[in-house]
């Protein structure tokens, strides 16, 4: 099987025609660290970068100047070459900003204080993905308006499936512009052609049944929310379509991030297929936490045989041989999985990052990851 094409990270970061890099993948594969490392390396190579992180580890966030963990980009000090600003998505605050921007103060206050809205904006399925795309749109507008960023790096939400980033915003937009919401909003809009008496009777039967399912108080909160929110309906599906279109822009590139594990690479494969079907620009695959082998000429079988012979007299050496054998077998399994991905997607470039002994929690660690991504020979 032929090897995968090499993903030239530095060429990607240096390309001034690239204004957005979106790091996607299933949860737990190192997207946040990858996004932060790419942003740092781009800044050190002269780009003016803003990185949008979703859920960084506290030590990593603090290392990038995100001590307040807020929704506003803040400059990271000590960057030479270009500049780096970093922020963490606050999905509720982003949702609040949309409400405030598109409502008069009285209506906005009623919406923001409504219990149903508070639940929707904090934990409703798809909200985080929708708001990540919304915030990306805001950052792009700020860049076009004169803010100093010429590259935005996006860390997508830690969803179980990589496809959630593309699918969830449309689902939420459809819900907010859907039939149930329109029925609940109908009293505020008027019954239209249906007579008020017939409409009220029909709606009464519907809401009575619905209240038995979700509870009367929740239904009242929903109806009050919809009554206040009515002026914004119809805009959310359109906004979802607009933000989705931004991902198809000529200056956007996707990096699919995966670990060398069957589930993660299967998700990566699904995502690559989806990007191709949606005509979205894929830069390549970042394969994180690849097992490094320092002595490849010593096979796993030879190491295990040696460990069995030495176990009685040289216990420490035997354990080291067993550890080497384990790593060789892990590396072989990972290579097989990566080969299967490349066989299915032979034109997708790949960059690999070896598994590090410690978690990344400072700028030096991010720089090491950036060096590894770029295949920098100075990396130790």
Residue range 167-184, pLDDT digits in tens: 877 777 666 665 555 555
Percentage, residues of the chain above pLDDT 70? 77
pLDDT at 118: 82
pLDDT at 374: 94
Mean pLDDT of the chain: 80
Does residue 347 or residue 130 have the better pLDDT? 347
pLDDT at 284: 96
pLDDT at 210: 38
Give yes or no for residue 197 having a pLDDT over 50.
Answer: no
- What gap in Å lies between CA 267 and CA 160, rounded to an integer? 9
Torsion angles phi and psi, residue 98, rounded to 5: -65, -45
- What gap in Å lies between CA 349 and CA 255, rounded to an integer? 10
pLDDT at 230: 58
Give yes or no for residue 215 having a pLDDT over 50.
Answer: no
Give yes or no for residue 234 having a pLDDT over 60.
Answer: no
Cβ–Cβ < 8 Å for 198, 205 = no
- The structural domains of the chain, ordered by start, are 9-102+126-168+243-299+341-374 (3.40.50.300)
Q: What is the average per-residue pLDDT within 264-270?
A: 93
Chain centroid to CA 240:
16
Q: Coil, strand, or helix at residue 250?
A: coil
Residue range 142-161, pLDDT digits in tens: 877 666 899 999 998 877 67
Beginning with the edge strand found earlier in the chain, give each strand of the sheet holding 252-258 in spatial order: 74-75, 83-88, 48-53, 151-155, 20-24, 252-258, 282-290, 350-354
All residues at 6 or more sequence positions from 369 whose CB lies less than 8 Å from its CB, including other chains: 33, 34, 37, 353, 356, 360
Cβ–Cβ < 8 Å for 129, 164 = yes
Q: Tokens for 148?
A: 């100093």
| Structure confidence at residue 199 as a pLDDT band (50, 70, 90) | very low
| Structure confidence at residue 212 as a pLDDT band (50, 70, 90) | very low
Residue by residue, DSSP assigns 51-71 as EEESS--HHHHHHTT-TT--S
Does residue 208 or residue 140 have the better pLDDT? 140
| Structure confidence at residue 255 as a pLDDT band (50, 70, 90) | very high
User: Taking the chain, what is the end-to-end CA distance rounded to the nearest angstrom?
Assistant: 30
All residues at 6 or more sequence positions from 75 whose CB lies less than 8 Å from its CB, including other chains: 65, 83, 84, 85
Residue range 84-94, pLDDT digits in tens: 999 888 888 88
Q: What is the average per-residue pLDDT within 335-345?
A: 94
Write down the H helix ranges in the chain.
9-14, 31-44, 58-63, 91-101, 105-112, 115-123, 127-144, 164-176, 179-189, 196-214, 216-229, 235-246, 262-277, 300-310, 315-344, 363-374
Residue range 23-51, pLDDT digits in tens: 998 888 999 899 999 999 999 999 999 99
Q: How many CB atoms lie within 10 A of CB 238?
A: 11
């Amino acid at each position: 099987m032929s090897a995968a094409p090499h993903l030239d990270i530095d060429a990607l970061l240096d390309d001034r025609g690239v204004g957005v890099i979106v790091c996607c993948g299933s949860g737990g594969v190192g997207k946040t660290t990858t996004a932060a490392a790419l942003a740092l390396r781009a800044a050190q190579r002269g780009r003016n970068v803003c990185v949008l992180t979703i859920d960084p580890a506290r030590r990593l966030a603090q290392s990038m100047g995100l001590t307040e963990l807020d929704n506003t980009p803040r400059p990271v000090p000590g960057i030479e070459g270009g500049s780096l600003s970093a922020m963490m998505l606050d999905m509720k605050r982003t949702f609040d900003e949309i409400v405030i921007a598109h409502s008069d103060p009285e209506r906005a206050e009623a919406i923001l204080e409504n219990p149903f809205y508070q639940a929707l904006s904090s934990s409703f399925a798809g909200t985080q993905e929708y708001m990540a795309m919304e915030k990306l749109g805001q950052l792009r507008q700020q860049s076009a308006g004169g803010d100093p960023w010429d590259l935005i790096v996006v860390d997508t939400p830690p969803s179980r499936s990589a496809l959630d980033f593309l699918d969830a915003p449309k689902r939420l937009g459809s819900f907010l512009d859907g039939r149930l919401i329109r029925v609940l909003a109908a009293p505020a809009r008027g019954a239209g052609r249906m007579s008020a008496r017939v409409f009220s009777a029909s709606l009464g039967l519907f809401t009575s049944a619905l209240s038995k399912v979700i509870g009367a108080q929740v239904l009242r909160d929903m109806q009050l929310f919809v009554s206040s929110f009515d002026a914004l309906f119809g805009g959310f599906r359109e906004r979802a379509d607009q933000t989705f279109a931004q991902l198809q822009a000529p200056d956007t590139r996707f990096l699919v991030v995966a670990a060398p594990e069957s589930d993660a690479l299967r998700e990566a494969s699904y995502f690559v297929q989806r990007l191709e079907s949606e005509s979205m620009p894929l830069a390549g695959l970042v394969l994180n936490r690849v097992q490094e082998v320092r002595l490849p000429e010593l096979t796993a079988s030879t190491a295990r045989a040696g460990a069995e012979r030495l176990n009685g007299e040289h216990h420490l050496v035997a354990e080291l041989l067993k550890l080497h054998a384990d790593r060789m077998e892990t590396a072989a399994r990972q290579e097989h999985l990566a080969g299967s991905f490349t066989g299915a997607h032979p034109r997708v470039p790949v960059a690999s990052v070896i598994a590090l002994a410690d978690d990344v929690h400072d700028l030096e660690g991010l720089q090491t990851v950036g060096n590894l991504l770029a295949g920098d020979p100075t990396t130790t």
